[in-house]
Amino acid sequence: MPRLAIVSAMHEELAAVLALMPDESRQAVAGREFWVGHLHGQEVVAVLSRIGKVAAATTAAVLVERFGVDRIVFTGVAGGLAPGVEVGHVVVADAFLQHDLDASPIFPRYEVPLYGTDRFATDGPLSERLAAAAQRALPGTRLHRGLVISGDRFVSTDSESRHLQAVLPQALAVEMEGAAIAQVCHDYGVPFAAVRTVSDRADDAAHGDFTRFVREVASRHSAAIVQALLS
């Protein structure tokens, strides 16, 4: 039977999804708890990756190697970067790039050494389904599709946000895990899709906006989108 992984970085992003899995069994691997159960009759493994690229990569590798998942979906929040990507909007990633990766001058800026690319695409059909689910779950919410960038930094100043917009003008939003999971999924040939609700604008107000959003909205949005995806 197909096994879908649902990943979030923080408890605030996944709490309402876990509440939908009454028959889960919990297994601890690599310091994380993996909830194995069912949602709408489908086999699901839900897990909190923790924050950052290394934590996300470890989680994705365990999901594939130990739990045999055949698709990974990430749901969580991101900082809006491009003009018009505002708090409360939803972004479904078409591709991910690591904005803090720099092996120049040996390799071009952002290129993942020895992969010959600076970005990994998400799975097309799974991303289509995820975008359709987000629109059904959150009617009237603005949905964006495109490049999302990841790095081990919480971007929380106007100047850093402006810099990222200038050097990576295609980037819709910034977060801290997606590019790592995309690379692991590329390595294993496992389809990956990611949806992020915009919690802040990665600017001087990001800290307060993020904290408020994850406390009040993030988990509800994730659960609604996951339910729409599986129903």
Residues tagged active-site: 13, 200
Q: What is the C-alpha to C-alpha distance for residues 14 and 71, in angstroms, rounded to an integer?
A: 17
CB of 200 to ligand ADE, least distance (A): 5
Smaller CB separation from ligand ADE, 129 or 201: 201
Q: What is the C-alpha to C-alpha distance for residues 197 and 222, in angstroms, rounded to an integer?
A: 8
CB of 26 to ligand ADE, least distance (A): 26
CB of 10 to ligand ADE, least distance (A): 9
What contacts 89, CB < 8 A, 6 or more positions away?
A: 80, 141, 142, 143, 144, 197, 198
Q: Which helix (H) or strand (E) holds 61?
A: helix 53-65
Ranked by CB distance to ligand ADE, the top (closest) residue is 79
CB of 100 to ligand ADE, least distance (A): 11
The torsion of the CA quartet 166, 172, 178, 184, rounded to 10 degrees, works out to -80
Smaller CB separation from ligand ADE, 176 or 179: 176
Smaller CB separation from ligand ADE, 24 or 203: 203
What are the tokens at 115? 């992969």
CB burial readout 116-134, b (16+ within 10 A) else e = eebbbebbeebbebbbebb
Q: In 3D, which of 145, 139, 135 has the Cα closest to residue 193?
A: 145
Smaller CB separation from ligand ADE, 118 or 175: 175
Q: Point out which residues bind ligand ADE (CB under 6 A).
A: 77-79, 154-156, 174-176, 199-200, 202, 206, 210
